[in-house]
Chain A
Amino acid sequence: MANPTAEKLSRDEYFYGHKACAGCGGALAVRAALKVLGQNAVSVLPAGCMSAVGFNFPQLCFSNNSIISTFAGTASMLTGIEAGLRAKGYSDFTAVGFAGDGGTADIGIQALSGAIDRNDNIIYICYDNEAYMNTGIQKSGLTPFGARTTTTPAGANIHGNLRPKKNMFEIAAAHDIPYAATASVGYLTDFIRKVEKASQIKGTKYIHVIAPCPTGWGIQPDETVEIAKEVVDCGLWYLAEYENGEFTLNHRPKDFSSVEAYLKKQGRFRHLDLDDIKTVIASRDKKWEFIGKNFTYR
């Protein structure tokens, strides 16, 4: 029985035997993207979960050329690799980076901005698990409002993280980048289509994929995919693209599923009270109002 998405992918496995936690959304994102890009992908991974679990000499879990960059240096190393390979006469390759939310929105944002500014011919994929998971669940610039992390503990006075997620997708778009997209591993076919599309565009491409972390989110390992779908269905994340100066919405839930149900499934949000949940819903509605005005649904 043919699976049209599977048919598009390489049968080879490029990220295999790694030590990511069971049910890791980040590992799924990296695996799927590399199966789109194939053997001539050169992957750059900064210090973070995916490099920590994939590159412990002599256990080296990438079958394509792959390299760890400095934490802040995903984009700048991609630039160097792309320029270096081109200078050495190679043209048939894809330089792709896989950085987490902290590596992208916090410590790596300067280098990423520089690469987009130069329009270097690279794909930058942010696998967003919404906290510094590799160091043990600390708040990043992409940790959502209300989430309990080890540096935003939930107590009687403060209910976890007080700030909303930084809007990396629109920050990338504001550079007038050739292509930017949001995705979720819960909608894998959509993510795969976007990686494929990015691979055919020249210049800088940015894809922001939600990749749940069972350990950090307080869910069971087998819930990764459904929670990544639910975050889209309840409207707290959205599937969109930016191209030629325009925003496109790829998926519009007819009715949002319950935000409360989404939150209460996760240990990191279990402490939230009704007022907190109202705040989350109000912020979601404001976002969708913006999307309604500025994004075209196709």
Chain B
Amino acid sequence: MNLIILLAIAFGGALITYFLGKISQKIRDIFAVFISLALAVIAACFYNVSSREIYYTGFLDFPFVLRVNTFSWFFAVTIAVIGLFSIIFSLNYIRKRGNTDFYYSMMLLVIASMIGIVLSGDLVSFYIFWEIMSWSTFLLISYNRGPAISAGMKYIIMSVTGSVVMLVGIVSLYLHYDTLVYTELSGLLNNASSGYILFIIILFFIAFGVKNAIWPLHVWLPPAHSEAPSPFSSVLSGILIKIGTYGIILLIFVIIQINVFLNLGEGILSVRYIISIIGVITILIPTFIALLQDDAKRLLAWSTIAQAGYIILGIAYGTSESVAGGMFHFFNHAIFKSLLFMVVGAVEYRTNGVRDLNSLGGLIKKMPVTFIGGLIGICGLIGVPLTNGFVSKWLIYKTLILNNSPFLAFAALLGTWGTILYSYKLIHNMFLGQLPEKYEKIKKAPFSMQLPIVILSLAIIFFGIIPGLPLHVINSIESGFGMEPLTINIWGIASDTGTINMLNIFTAVLVIGIMVWLIFKVSKKSTVIGQYDNYAAGTTVPKDKYNYSVNFYDPLCRMISPYLKDFIDDFYMSLARSIKNTGNGIRRIYTGDVGHYVIYIILFLALLIFIQINWELW
């Protein structure tokens, strides 16, 4: 199988989908699912393949290279699979909306360009796919209209800013080393001055940081994630922002190489440390802000930023365990965050667009499968043992503690405890507590929504018990980067400095759980009663009036909210306003009076001659 064919299917599929939609909606739906399934299958076929091909030379003098190795395979498969599930989820979600042809083809285009990014083997084609991804994402974010328009605007402005800065970096690399193909570029920076490497790192980091929503470049993410259509939010949060992670890994481990990176700067001022600290800030502030949110999707959006912080922390810290943790967390986050967005999307779909956590409740009785998906999703997000999120976070904490960076570890751990609070609030306010009467008639989510939810939930548990599978892949990626691989086995990690064995934990939980269940079972049966049949000190619980899920963490929120103004966002907005004001000021130059214009011309001429006569500049 050929890489070009994969890309051709991806991009061609996106185009054809649009025109098929003009013929029949049904055929288009089937075709879109088929294309994304094909992408996932073909991408998976490249496992353990390592190949490289020049596929196009017509672009200025840059050869376009496609390459696949374990590193890009890992990302490509994740992208394709999450993309497939989002497309399946969209089938019902988007059916009654307008412009569905546009939606599907853009969705496929985003996925195609992401696959293009991870498969490209040189920086120019990387950049081209990157930009295609940026603008197609912009169009999709704006799809919901209303507030989505300003969200899309914010996104594209930040994204374009990032990518033009990256362009400078790419061109600078080209001019220094005369090539942009990774394989030729890697190692060349060994001899570069550290100032130059720093320059390159900063340029690329701005671009990748915007996409990855690293604090303080995160401000586009909360509105974009919450206003986009929910299946696309899963793509955005699950994989799209991780393309930034991919870029960072590419930069640090392929282009610059790890040994050079680790030696940049000394001690607390070293580059790895500074980026780690940025990662930690990215964990902490958004976690607390997430606590204050009442909009389910906005809560998840802030949570996404925070989780991206773990990934950055892991990768930037640069030990082989932390990098493995970071990459594994990328994988896990793709699974559980897209799952959670789907769960919220399913609820939103059934309640006609309600995402306000204060007005939902009790839906567990109506949408049990969705609830289980949500429960497993938050368990993964928190990192409860036996879910995949646990192992990745464990790796990061462990290496931070053992390498004497307890403060970084503390911040990361504290972030997890914040995560517990907001993610429980999410699940409690949507599914638990009283079911309001207006939702009495809600049906369970349709099959096309339940299927991805169930599969992704199972994946969370599966990779939580068998972390060895992804870790094996990550291990071979790391040895490709020239790092020491971890000592893993299929059930966990077995090193001298700390081991985990998920099988033992799983067995223990299972056996003990069964024993407790048996005790529960043999003791007297209990009768099932309804939600209003509650203890209320002799009175009855009033219907629909008494939903404590409103302002769930009010005491804490009152304490912390004064400190959590998003001043970064304010800063950007005032920057935008001042640019606009400057523009309005400058516009005054063009007064509309032709007399002034003539004077400009004469003055310009006179000034030039005056300068020359006096100083002979030219």
A and B: interacting chains: no
Residues of B within 8 A of A (CB): none
